[in-house]
Amino acid sequence: MSQGGDRELIGGQALYNALKAGSVWLQSHVAEVNALNVFPVPDGDTGTNMSLTLRAALDEVGSPQGLSVSEVGRRISHGALMGARGNSGVILSQILRGFARALDDKQAVTEQDVALGLTAASETAYKGVMKPVEGTILTVMREAAEAAQGAISVGGDVCAVLTAALSEAKASLLRTPELLPVLKEAGVVDAGGQGLVRVLEGILSYVRGDAVVADAEAKPAVETGHGHADAAEEEYGFDVQFIIHSPAKSVDLLREDLSVMGDSLLVVGDEQAVKVHIHSEHPGPILEYGIQQGTLSTIILENMQVQYREFVGTDHSDEGASGQIDVRYPVDRIRASLSGASPLADVSVVAVASGPGLAQVFSSLGAEAVVAGGQTMNPSTQDLVSAIESVANDSVLILPNNGNIILTAQQASEITSRQVRVVPTRTMPQGIAALLGFNYQAGLEENYEAMLESSQQVETLEVTQAVRSVQVNGLAVDEGQFIGLLNDDLRAAGDTPLAVVKALLGEMDMDEYEIISVYYGSGVTQEEASSLCEALGDVYPNLEYELLDGGQPHYHYIISAE
Amino acid sequence: MSEETTLGTIQVSPRAIASIAARAVLTSYGVVGMAPATVRDGIAEILNLENVYRGVDVQVVDGQVVIDLYVVVEYGTRISVVAHNMMESVKFAVEQALAMRVAEVNVHVQGVRVSDDD
């Protein structure tokens, strides 16, 4: 930032750096923001979405050197538009767009322009919806902009303007539960607002000259009394749940007390009954505390490490006659983290996956149990029954994710005494799409319908090698050639995986799709997969590509188009 | 859509469903107006708040609800995300309010509003 004369001028480089600082700071608090999400908002990953949107905006700038502040603003605006993810991402993109417009055609701007920019950001954001809802990021943005204007009127510089904006943003955030009943009920502040506060904090740090370091031990800017929602750390310790009847203290006070006793704290309820969920290495004091507060019931106490080990399994007793060993991939059983499958859901999901990367995807999307598919994707009926019986709920949905396993899943559902519905997914992308359609507040039947529908929205492409020469669907395939299947139907053959994928995509109406997710298998390196994606990007530049290490055996690539 | 109970019948008219859907659309981000389902002379007329329900077309087929939304979206937003968000909000609102299964929510973007200062 050049300090010329009486006024500080902010040029393109400075604007870029400031937003970059905001982005880094937000990124290190993604889990915290995600944890604040409250149903029934469809946007479940506010933190992730806002972070990705902001990063896309910054990526669009490229190299900020020598660019005017308005040019940087324009690029950020465009990048955010194209890269907006989720509802919160779209709102953020509007905020950035509004701010950018206020920069006019200027080379560099003053603190007044910054304040005007914040106001424009707020106004543009509000214009994007017919009935703006107060108690959301909109309110926080508006009140922050008002404070910024206030700082200008008393002659503040950029630092003062941003300090005032941030301070008011935090205060506004704290008031959001008063404006939006669902927030108050869940005892949280608005997720989008929290994300915005983090961005402003990062920006202010940069302006003040402090280094912005990704803070691994991120504490919430606003003490709402709940701990980390970092599921990866929670393989150890105990999962403690109970209900306190006629509690002596209010929900808020209980939450405050419990917040120092463990992680992934969830406290919901009213004067009659409060449900508590927490992870801790020392359940004793927590239970004692609960007993002091009222009558306890429905106590659940589970050793997460035992669960984890059991699942990782030294159990090889189900080696088939063919001598295949079913290796269970180490998968985090995500027990009630605030952003994942919640103990308050009445239905559990069991998914079958081949490949540790894919297993991780299912797990992180909320599948309570993931069964390994093995070399030829065939878990036994007993494997599935065990998985069904291992989950928390009596109502279970199974995602077989392979045509051969659907029948096995049906058999398993008949053997167990639990209520089971099999969603007939034939491929893993279908399973993932189905899982994305899962609704934590709905029951078994509703979820079955919803997941069935979601599973049908995605096209699956699979690439593997032919083990023998064959003629099928009018195609002559030689042994060793690469073959491509579109939704389980063999439709293409070629000498390279790329040729096969291109052929398959050529058969589809690519205007209908936006996102291509590529899961590369265990026989493929990241470089190979990466260059495949790049080559596809050349042919279809308007699509978004996601590259993931699926680690699946047998199929070089499993690709979903949605 | 009607439901028999021991005391009598509950009937929910498509117009009622449309109103609930319209309310969900009002708070859906990125939607700045609703247009009537029939676009006369190719010009999308933006409906005022009282008449937003006219931008919603409701059909009940085999006991399942199919909703078509005719909307105007704000220029500069990512339309696919806005549409997706709208579909989920409407589906949730109607299913919660009426305990009826919504089979489809279709979004028809009839126009894009460019703000004056663009």
Q: In this predicted structure, what is the pLDDT of residue A309?
A: 53
d(CA A196, CA A490): 48
Do A275 and A238 lie in one domain? The reply is: yes
Cβ-nearest to B29 among A82, A90, A124: A90
Within a domain: A38: yes
CB-based contact, B68 to chain A, within 8 Å: no
Which SS3 state, helix, strand or coil, does residue A116 take?
A: helix
Pairing verdict, β B2-4 and A395-399: unpaired
CA A14, chain centre distance (Å): 30
- One DSSP character per residue, A150-215 reads HHHHTT--HHHHHHHHHHHHHHHHHHHHHH-HHHHHHT---HHHHHHHHHHHHHHHHHHT------
In chain A, what residues touch B78 (CB-CB under 8 Å)?
81-82, 84, 89-90, 93
A27 falls within a domain: yes
If asked whether residues A22 and A122 sit together in one domain, one would say yes
Asked whether A254 and A247 are in contact (CB, 8 A), the reply is: yes
Which CATH number covers residue A98?
Answer: 1.25.40.340
Same domain, yes or no, for A357 and A466?
Answer: no
User: pLDDT digits over B67-116, tens only?
Assistant: 999 998 988 888 888 999 899 889 989 988 887 788 999 999 988 888 75
pTM (global) more than 0.80: no
Answer for the pair A194, A173: CB distance below 8 angstroms, yes or no: yes
Taking residues A471-475, what's their average pLDDT? 76
Instruction: Kindly state the average pLDDT of the residues B19-33.
Output: 89
Q: Kindly report the CA angle at A89 between A268 and A179, in degrees rounded to 5?
A: 40
In angstroms, the Cα distances linking A291 to A52, A261, A294, B71, B111 are: 44, 15, 6, 54, 60
Do A285 and A137 fall into the same domain?
A: no
Task: State residue B15's pLDDT score.
Answer: 85
Q: Of A239, A198, A218, A194, nearest to A46 (Cα)?
A: A194
pLDDT at A219 over 50: no
Residue A116 lies in a domain: yes
A44, HSE (Cβ side, Cα atoms, 13 Å):
14
Predicted local confidence at residue A311, as pLDDT: 46
A483 and A512 assigned to the same domain: yes
What range does the domain containing A478 cover? 459-561
Rank A137-141, A273-277, B90-94, B103-107 by mean pLDDT and report only the highest: A137-141
| Residue showing tokens 């499993």 | A558
pLDDT at B38: 66
End-to-end CA distance of chain B: 45
Q: Is residue A74 scored above 90 in pLDDT?
A: yes
Measure B45 CA to nearest chain A CA, in Å: 15
Instruction: Please name the residue of chain B whose CA is at the shortest distance from the CA of residue A120.
Output: B117
CB contact under 8 A, A90 and B32: no
3-state secondary structure of A382: helix
- Tokens 């920069």 identify what position? A103
Stretch A447-474: mean pLDDT: 85
Residue B1 included in any domain:
no
- Residue A222: inside a domain: no
List of chain B residues whose C-beta atoms are within 8 Å of the C-beta of residue A91 = 29
Percentage of residues in chain A with pLDDT exceeding 70?
Answer: 85
What is the residue whose two structure tokens read 């004056």?
B116
- Domain assignment present for residue B101? The answer is yes
Judged on CB neighbours under 10 Å (0-12, 13-18, 19+), A1 is middle
Q: Which of A186-195, A438-447, A552-561 is predicted most confidently?
A: A186-195
Contact B74 A89 (CB under 8 A): no
Q: Check pLDDT > 80 for residue A160.
A: yes
The mean pLDDT value for A396-414 works out to: 87
In-domain check, residue B94: yes
* pLDDT score recorded for residue B5: 75
pLDDT recorded at residue A308: 54
Q: Is residue B68 part of a domain?
A: yes
**In-domain check, residue A143:** yes
Please indicate if any CB of chain B lies within 8 Å of the CB of A472: no
pLDDT band for position A167 (50/70/90)?
A: very high
The verdict on residue A217 lying in a domain is no
Chain B within 8 Å of A465 (Cβ-Cβ)? no
Residue B40 burial (C-beta neighbours within 10 Å; 0-12, 13-18, 19+)? exposed
In a domain, B118, yes or no: no
Looking up residue A511, the CATH number of its domain turns out to be: 3.30.1180
- pLDDT of B1 reads 63
Q: How far apart are CA A269 and CA A243, in angstroms?
A: 9
Q: Are residues A113 and A173 in the same domain?
A: yes
Q: What is the pLDDT of residue A225?
A: 30
**Interface residue B69 vs chain A (CB under 8 A):** no
Q: Does A230 score more than 60 pLDDT?
A: no
Q: Is residue A102 located within the same domain as residue A131?
A: yes
To the nearest whole Å, the CA of B44 is away from the closest chain A CA by 17
With CA atoms as reference, the chain A residue closest to B78 would be A81
Interchain proximity A81–B78, CB inside 8 Å:
yes
Nearest to A133 among B27, B32, B78 (CB): B27
Give the integer Cα–Cα distance in Å for A219 and A31.
11
Contacts of A131 in chain B (CB under 8 A): 26-27
Residues of chain B found within 8 Å of residue A130, distances taken between Cβ atoms? 25-27, 31-33, 49, 52
Q: Is the pLDDT of residue B55 over 50?
A: yes
C-alpha distance from residue A551 to each of A28, A361, A469, A500 (Å): 27, 11, 26, 20
Please give the average per-residue pLDDT across A416-430, as a whole number.
Answer: 89
A93-132 residue pLDDT tens: 999 999 999 998 888 889 999 999 999 999 999 988 888 8
H helix or E strand, kind and range, residue B115: none
Q: Is the pLDDT of residue B50 over 80?
A: no
Distance CA A187, CA A256 (A): 11
Domain count, chain B: 1
Phi-psi region of B85 (alpha: psi -120 to 50; beta: other; left: phi over 0): alpha
Q: Side by side, which strands form the sheet with A347-353?
A: A369-372, A347-353, A395-399, A419-422
- A526: pLDDT strictly greater than 80: yes
Q: Provide the CATH number for the domain around residue B50.
A: 3.30.70.1350
Measured between alpha carbons, how far is A283 from A167 in angstroms, rounded to an integer? Answer: 38
Which residues from chain B sit within 8 angstroms of residue A90, using beta carbons?
29-30, 77-78, 81-82, 85
Q: Which residues of chain B does A73 touch, with a Cβ-Cβ cutoff of 8 Å?
A: none
Tokens of A53: 């949107």
Q: How many domains in chain A?
A: 4
In three-state secondary structure terms, A7 is: strand
| Residue B92: inside a domain | yes
Q: Is residue B73 part of a domain?
A: yes
List the CATH number of the domain containing A251: 3.30.70
Q: Which residues contact A439 (CB under 8 A, 6 or more apart)?
A: A446, A447, A450
Q: Which residues of A touch B33 (CB under 8 A)?
A: 130
Predicted confidence band of residue A470 (pLDDT cuts 50, 70, 90)? confident
Query: What is the model's pLDDT at position A214?
Result: 55
Is A128 in contact with B32 (Cβ distance < 8 A)? yes
Q: Which of A273, A304, A335 is the last residue of a domain?
A: A304
- The pLDDT value recorded for residue B39 is 59
The predicted-structure confidence for A478-498, as pLDDT tens digits, reads as follows: 888 888 888 878 888 888 999
Pair (A182, A105) in one structural domain: yes
- Tell me the residue range of the domain where B79 lies: 6-113
* Nearest residue to A159 (alpha-carbon basis) of A95, A205, A116: A205
Alpha-carbon span B36 to A65, nearest angstrom:
49
CA distance A42 to chain B (A): 6
Residue A42 touches partner B, C-beta closer than 8 Å: yes
Q: Tokens 């480089």, residue?
A: A13
What does the pLDDT look like over A10-46, one tens digit per residue? 889 999 999 999 999 999 888 888 888 775 554 568 8
CATH code for the domain of A410: 3.40.50.510
Q: CA nearest A137 in B: which residue?
A: B29
Interface probe with B: pick from A76, A90, A94, most Cβ of B within 10 Å: A90
Best of B23, B25, B26, B29 to disrupt the A interface (most A CBs within 10 Å) is B29
pLDDT (0 to 100) of residue A374: 58
ipTM associated with this complex: 0.73
Suggest the residue from B23, B48, B81, B112 to mutate for an interface test with chain A (most A CBs closer than 10 A). B81
**Cβ atoms < 10 Å from Cβ of A421:** 19
pLDDT over 60 at A314, yes or no:
no
In-domain check, residue B93: yes
Q: Based on the fold, state whether residues A254 and A323 are members of the same structural domain.
A: no
Same structural domain, A370 and A281: no
The residue length of chain B stands at: 118
Q: Which residues of A fall within a CB distance of 8 Å from B29?
A: 87, 90-91, 128-129
**Could you tell me if A330 and A296 lie in one domain?**
no
Asked if A364 and A439 sit in the same domain, the reply is yes
- pLDDT per residue as tens digits for the range A183-194: 888 888 999 999
pLDDT tens digits for range B1-15 = 667 777 887 788 888
Cα–Cα distance between A263 and A251 in angstroms, integer?
A: 17
Partnered with residue A279 across adjacent β-strands are A239, A263
Q: Closest chain B residue to A91 measured between Cα atoms? A: B29
Q: Is residue A220 one of the residues assigned to a domain?
A: no
- What residues form DSSP beta bridges with A464? A483
